[in-house]
């Protein structure tokens, strides 16, 4: 089964899966329901709507933007680049960070946030449907992808019959790992499977390499690399353990898991939304992202990709 066939099923499949089954949406894996508001930058310009119209190029009806993210790289993107860019334009910007994947969408729907950035689109689509929220995605942001990393073997062409491959044992990410192995030609998945719930029983053929798949807790994968031939590791756990994403031998080609910003649907045509979108797609932000997050999966509209999604040395399928 080809990845293109699987990718077409992703959005449909997510609609049939409960939110509790979707894990590792962003980069922070804590489930503690906490939110932290960060103070406005000292000296940041505070203007009334009348002053904003007269002195800066901002939305005259919305001079303060509250951005919600999970702690980690998405928060750093706001702190280190986006916040300053918007403040220079004349906006007041407040960052609120969360340690769970439920409250950011609820807070957005309730009006406590103007925009959030932490989730891929299939998760957003499922969450808003299950909770009857009127939210919509706006733009993609750089995201740490799932990747194949060296273990005992250091090159993709070193595959051999009987090799061992470690993979995250939670259902969502294990399914993604199977899709990656299918794309590499290491295994063949059955036709018309659900890509989000794929399991070992969905493997149609493993005879080419007779792979021993070692399922481990995602956090253990980086530490266990020397015990397997190849390791499939979540991007956030790779970076947390000091592994550079550029060291990946292969990354999932699909953009389905690249994270998006979300807003209330009623705000989609507002000027401030366009200004935030422009800040995240500006040349300055692109340079910052490429310098700060090498190996990440970048927004599709950028027309660039960071890592080896189709390595030349990959074996023929």
Residue 86 lies in a domain: yes
Instruction: Compute the CA torsion angle 235, 236, 241, 245 (nearest 10 deg).
Output: 30
Low-confidence ranges of the chain (pLDDT < 70): 1-34, 39-56, 305-317
Residue 29 lies in a domain: no
- Regarding whether 266 and 186 lie in a shared domain, the answer is no
Residue 56 lies in a domain: no
Residue 12 lies in a domain: no
Q: Tell me, what's the pLDDT at 34?
A: 60
Q: Tell me, what's the pLDDT at 197?
A: 81
Measured between alpha carbons, how far is 267 from 317 in angstroms, rounded to an integer?
47
What's the number of domains the chain is made of?
2
Task: Return the structure tokens found at 255.
Answer: 């953009």
Residue 40 lies in a domain: no
Q: Tell me, what's the pLDDT at 209?
A: 98
Measured between alpha carbons, how far is 164 from 206 in angstroms, rounded to an integer?
12
- Regarding whether 166 and 112 lie in a shared domain, the answer is no
Residue 243 lies in a domain: yes
- Regarding whether 284 and 159 lie in a shared domain, the answer is no
Domain final position from 230, 251, 272: 251
- Regarding whether 287 and 200 lie in a shared domain, the answer is no
Q: Tell me, what's the pLDDT at 275?
A: 98
- Regarding whether 191 and 99 lie in a shared domain, the answer is no
- Regarding whether 180 and 234 lie in a shared domain, the answer is yes
- Regarding whether 240 and 101 lie in a shared domain, the answer is no
Measured between alpha carbons, how far is 64 from 88 in angstroms, rounded to an integer?
13
Name the residue range of residue 199's domain.
147-251
- Regarding whether 138 and 77 lie in a shared domain, the answer is yes
Q: Quick one: which of 297, 165, 301, 287 has its CA closest to 233?
A: 165
Residue 274 lies in a domain: yes
- Regarding whether 217 and 173 lie in a shared domain, the answer is yes
- Regarding whether 270 and 126 lie in a shared domain, the answer is yes
Domain of 231, CATH number, reads 3.40.190.10
Q: Tell me, what's the pLDDT at 67?
A: 98
Q: Tell me, what's the pLDDT at 196?
A: 77
Tell me: the pLDDT tens digits for 265-316?
999 999 999 999 999 999 999 999 999 999 999 999 999 765 444 443 344 3
- Regarding whether 211 and 129 lie in a shared domain, the answer is no
Measured between alpha carbons, how far is 283 from 281 in angstroms, rounded to an integer?
7
- Regarding whether 86 and 162 lie in a shared domain, the answer is no
Measured between alpha carbons, how far is 1 from 204 in angstroms, rounded to an integer?
9
Residues sharing a CB contact under 8 Å with residue 40, sequence separation 6 or more, in sequence order: 46, 92, 93, 94
Residue 314 lies in a domain: no
């Amino acid at each position: 089964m080809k990845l293109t066939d699987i990718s077409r099923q992703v959005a449909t499949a997510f609609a049939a899966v409960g939110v509790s089954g979707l894990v590792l949406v962003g980069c922070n894996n804590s489930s503690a329901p906490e939110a932290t508001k960060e103070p406005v930058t000292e000296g940041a310009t505070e203007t009334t709507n009348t002053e904003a119209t007269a002195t800066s190029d901002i939305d005259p009806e919305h001079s303060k933007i509250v951005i919600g993210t999970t702690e980690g790289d998405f928060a750093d993107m706001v702190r280190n680049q986006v916040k300053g860019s918007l403040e220079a334009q004349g906006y007041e910007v407040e960052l609120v960070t969360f340690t769970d994947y439920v409250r950011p969408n609820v807070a957005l729907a309730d009006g406590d946030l103007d925009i959030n950035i932490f989730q891929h689109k299939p998760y957003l689509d499922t969450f808003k449907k299950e909770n009857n929220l009127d939210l919509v995605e706006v733009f993609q942001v750089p995201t740490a992808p799932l990747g194949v990393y060296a273990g005992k073997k250091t090159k993709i062409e070193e595959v051999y019959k009987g090799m061992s491959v470690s993979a995250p044992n939670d259902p969502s990410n294990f399914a993604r790992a199977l899709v990656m192995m299918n794309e590499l030609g290491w295994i063949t998945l059955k036709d018309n499977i659900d890509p989000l719930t794929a399991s070992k029983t969905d493997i149609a053929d493993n005879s080419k390499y007779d792979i021993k798949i070692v399922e481990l807790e995602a956090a253990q994968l980086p530490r266990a690399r020397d015990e397997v031939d190849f390791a499939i590791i979540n991007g956030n756990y790779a970076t947390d353990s000091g592994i550079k994403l550029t060291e990946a031998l292969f990354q999932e080609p699909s953009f389905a898991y690249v994270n998006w910003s979300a807003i209330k649907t009623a705000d989609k045509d507002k000027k401030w939304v366009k200004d935030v979108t422009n800040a995240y797609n500006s040349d300055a932000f692109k340079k910052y992202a490429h310098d700060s997050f090498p190996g990440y999966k970048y927004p599709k509209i950028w027309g660039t990709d960071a890592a080896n999604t189709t390595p030349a040395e990959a074996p023929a399928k």
